[in-house]
C-alpha cells in the first residue's frame, strides 16, 4: 500500500476483492436504508467491511480475509475496497452519515477526530474488546492514546507505518558506511549525515540519498518534531518559526549540495533507489515489498537523527465502528471480533512493512526474525502523527498545502523563509474554513 503515504500503489484490479461499482450510487442505497438485515435469512451474521487497501496491501488483506472466513463460517464477511485517500474518505463520510452502510471500516488514526469521532463514528465497547484479549495493555500505548477521545475509545489500532531509511547494502559496503553487522552506521546530527551521504555519492556517482520531494511534508514534520516543534491549528497557526526554518533549510541544503535530487516524485523515488542512483532513500516502510520482489540486498533503519532523535512522520491504520441509527448488537459483536482477530494475526500484515500495533505480535520472536522489518521496529513507539485538525492527517488538505510549497525548497524555486510564509498563509485559510463534519 502507499499511504498514506503517500500516493497509493496502482490498484491491482478487483479480482477477489469486492470493489463497489458505481460507488456513490451504491452509497446512496445504503443511505436510504436499503441494506438487508444482519443475518439476511442465512443464519450467518453479515459483516460489511470497508477498506482502502490496494496493490500489495490489498493482496495481503485478501489473504487475511480468506483465513478469517475459513475460521469463522458463522460470519458472512463482505469486504469492499475503495481507492486510497479522498475517494475513500468521501464515501466513508457518506456511508457513516447514512447509518446503515457498513459495519466496520478502516481509518488512518490521524483522521479520527476530523471524520467525526462521536458523530459519524461510534465508541468501541471496551468490555467487548477485552473479551477478545485486546486491552490498553496489549496495544502500542501512543496509538491507544490517539484512539481515545474524551475518555472514549473510538478506534482499534492495527499497525504503524512511518518514514524510515532504506539503504542499499552493496553500495553502502563500497562506501564503507556499514558496521560490523552489515547495518548502516548510525549518525548523529546533520553534519555526520552529510558526511555519510558524501561517501555514498562517491560510489554512485550521482546522489547519496533520494526522497519524495513532492511529498516534502513527511520529511519536514519528521525534522520539525525532532526539534521538539509543535503546530497548533486553532485560531492563529501556532508554529515555531526558528525550528521550522531549520527543518526547511535541511531540505534546501541536502539538494543544493547535490546529495539528493532536487526533484523526485512518489513513484520515481523508489525507482531511483532501485536503479542505484542513490544508496539511501527516505520513504515509508510500505515500500519494502517492492525491493524484496526485485531481489535487492537492502536494509532499513529509522529516520536519521538530524536534530537529536530518530523520529519519523507516520500514521496508523485502525478499525472503527460507524454510527448506527439503530443499534445492531450482533453486528457490533461480529465487527469487534473481526478486528481482534486481525490484530492477533497481524504477523501476516507485517510482511508488507507495517509494524503491528498489537504488542504480543510486535514483541514476538516471530516478528523479531523478520528482516529487514526488525531494523526499525522500535521506531513505531515514537511515530510522529500529524497535528490534530479536521483538515490534517493522511490525504488531508494540510499535507497537500505543505507539499505544494515545500517542494520548491528542494528544487530551489523558493527559499525556506518564503515557503514558511506561504505555508502559514495556507494554514490560516484552512483554519478559517468551516469543518464539513
| Lowest-confidence pick of 37-41, 136-140, 272-276 | 37-41
Handedness of CA 83, 86, 90, 96 (dihedral sign): positive
pLDDT band (50, 70, 90) for residue 28: very low
Mean pLDDT, range 372-398, rounded to an integer: 94
Radius of gyration (C-alpha) of the chain in whole angstroms: 22
CA distances from 294 to 271, 274, 275 (A): 11, 8, 11
Class at the top of the CATH hierarchy for domain 23-158+316-382: alpha beta
Per-residue pLDDT tens digits for 11-21: 333 333 333 33
Q: What is the pLDDT of residue 237?
A: 87
In the DSSP assignment, the letter for residue 188 is B
Q: What is the pLDDT of residue 195?
A: 98
DSSP 122-177: EPP-HHHHHHTT--GGGB-HHHHHHTEETTEE--EE-EEEEEEEEEEHHHHHHHT-
Q: What is the pLDDT of residue 6?
A: 40
**pLDDT of 30 above 50:** no
Cα separation, 434 vs 389, in Å, equals 11
Cα separation, 135 vs 148, in Å, equals 12
Mean pLDDT (the chain, rounded): 90
Cα separation, 167 vs 210, in Å, equals 10
Cα separation, 399 vs 396, in Å, equals 6
Cα separation, 281 vs 273, in Å, equals 6
**pLDDT of 309 above 70:** yes
Residue in the block written with cell 497537500: 400
Share of the chain above pLDDT 90, in %: 83
Annotated domain spans of the chain? 23-158+316-382, 163-313+396-432
The CATH classification number of 163-313+396-432 equals: 3.40.190.10
Residue from 201, 253, 256, 229 nearest 311 by CA: 229
Per-residue pLDDT tens digits for 53-88: 998 899 999 999 999 999 999 999 999 999 998 899
Per-residue pLDDT tens digits for 179-236: 999 999 999 999 999 999 999 999 999 999 999 999 999 999 999 999 999 999 988 8
pLDDT band (50, 70, 90) for residue 3: very low
Per-residue pLDDT tens digits for 314-355: 999 999 999 988 778 999 999 999 999 999 999 999 999 999
CA dihedral of 348, 93, 332, 62, whole degrees rounded to 10:
-30
pTM, entire model: 0.89
- For residues 373 and 437, the model is more confident at 373
Cα separation, 170 vs 193, in Å, equals 19
Beta-bridge partner residues of 301: 165
Per-residue pLDDT tens digits for 78-125: 999 999 988 999 999 999 988 778 999 999 999 998 888 989 999 999
Give every CB contact of residue 419 below 8 A, 6+ residues apart in sequence.
Answer: 248, 405, 406, 408, 409
Q: What is the pLDDT of residue 271?
A: 96
pLDDT band (50, 70, 90) for residue 41: low
Mean pLDDT, range 25-35, rounded to an integer: 37
Q: What is the pLDDT of residue 39?
A: 55
Q: What is the pLDDT of residue 165?
A: 98
**pLDDT of 42 above 80:** no
Long-range Cβ pairs for the range 63-68 (8 Å, 24+): 63/348, 64/342, 64/345, 64/348, 64/349, 66/16, 67/345, 67/348, 68/338, 68/341, 68/342, 68/345
Q: What is the pLDDT of residue 101?
A: 81
Cα separation, 222 vs 247, in Å, equals 9
Q: What is the pLDDT of residue 11?
A: 34
Handedness of CA 173, 176, 180, 181 (dihedral sign): negative
Amino acid at each position: 500500500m502507499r499511504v498514506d503515504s503517500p500516493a497509493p500503489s496502482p490498484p491491482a484490479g478487483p479480482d477477489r476483492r469486492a470493489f463497489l461499482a458505481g460507488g456513490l450510487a451504491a452509497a446512496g442505497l445504503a443511505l436510504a436504508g436499503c441494506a438487508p438485515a444482519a443475518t439476511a435469512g442465512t443464519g450467518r451474521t453479515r459483516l460489511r467491511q470497508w477498506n482502502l487497501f490496494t496493490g500489495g496491501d490489498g493482496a495481503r488483506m485478501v489473504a487475511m480475509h480468506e483465513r478469517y472466513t475459513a475460521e469463522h463460517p458463522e460470519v458472512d464477511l463482505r469486504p469492499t475496497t475503495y481507492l486510497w485517500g479522498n475517494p475513500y474518505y468521501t464515501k466513508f463520510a457518506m456511508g457513516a452519515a447514512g447509518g446503515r452502510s457498513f459495519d466496520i471500516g478502516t481509518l488512518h488514526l490521524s483522521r479520527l477526530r476530523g471524520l467525526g469521532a462521536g458523530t459519524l463514528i461510534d465508541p468501541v465497547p471496551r468490555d467487548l474488546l477485552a473479551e477478545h484479549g485486546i486491552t490498553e495493555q496489549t496495544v502500542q500505548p501512543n496509538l491507544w492514546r490517539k484512539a481515545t477521545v474524551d475518555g472514549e475509545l473510538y478506534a482499534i489500532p492495527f499497525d504503524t507505518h512511518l518514514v524510515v531509511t532504506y539503504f542499499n547494502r552493496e553500495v553502502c559496503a563500497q562506501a564503507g558506511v556499514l558496521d560490523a553487522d552489515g547495518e548502516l552506521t548510525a549518525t548523529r546530527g546533520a553534519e555526520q549525515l552529510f558526511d555519510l551521504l558524501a561517501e555514498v555519492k562517491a560510489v554512485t556517482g550521482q546522489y547519496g540519498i533520494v526522497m519524495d520531494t513532492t511529498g516534502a511534508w513527511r520529511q519536514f514534520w519528521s525534522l520539525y518534531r525532532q526539534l521538539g516543534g509543535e503546530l497548533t491549528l486553532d485560531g492563529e497557526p501556532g508554529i515555531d518559526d526558528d525550528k521550522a526554518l531549520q527543518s526547511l533549510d535541511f531540505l534546501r541544503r541536502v539538494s543544493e549540495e547535490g546529495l539528493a535530487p532536487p526533484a523526485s516524485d512518489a513513484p520515481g523515488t523508489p525507482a531511483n533507489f532501485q536503479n542505484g542512483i542513490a544508496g539511501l532513500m527516505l520513504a515509508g516502510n510500505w515500500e519494502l515489498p517492492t525491493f524484496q520482489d526485485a531481489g535487492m540486498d537492502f536494509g532499513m533503519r529509522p529516520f536519521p537523527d538530524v536534530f537529536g532523535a530518530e523520529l519519523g512522520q507516520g500514521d496508523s491504520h485502525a478499525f472503527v465502528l460507524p454510527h448506527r441509527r439503530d443499534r445492531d448488537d450482533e453486528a457490533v459483536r461480529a465487527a469487534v471480533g473481526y478486528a481482534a482477530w486481525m490484530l492477533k494475526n497481524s504477523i501476516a500484515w507485517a510482511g508488507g512493512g507495517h509494524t503491528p500495533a498489537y504488542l504480543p505480535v510486535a514483541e514476538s520472536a516471530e516478528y523479531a526474525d523478520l528482516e529487514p522489518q526488525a531494523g526499525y521496529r522500535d521506531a513505531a513507539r515514537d511515530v510522529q502523527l500529524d497535528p490534530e485538525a479536521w483538515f490534517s492527517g493522511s490525504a488531508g488538505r494540510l499535507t497537500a498545502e505543505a507539499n505544494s510549497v515545500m517542494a520548491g525548497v528542494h528544487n530551489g524555486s523558493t527559499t525556506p523563509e518564503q515557503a514558511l510564509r506561504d505555508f502559514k498563509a495556507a494554514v490560516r485559510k484552512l483554519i478559517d474554513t468551516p469543518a464539513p463534519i
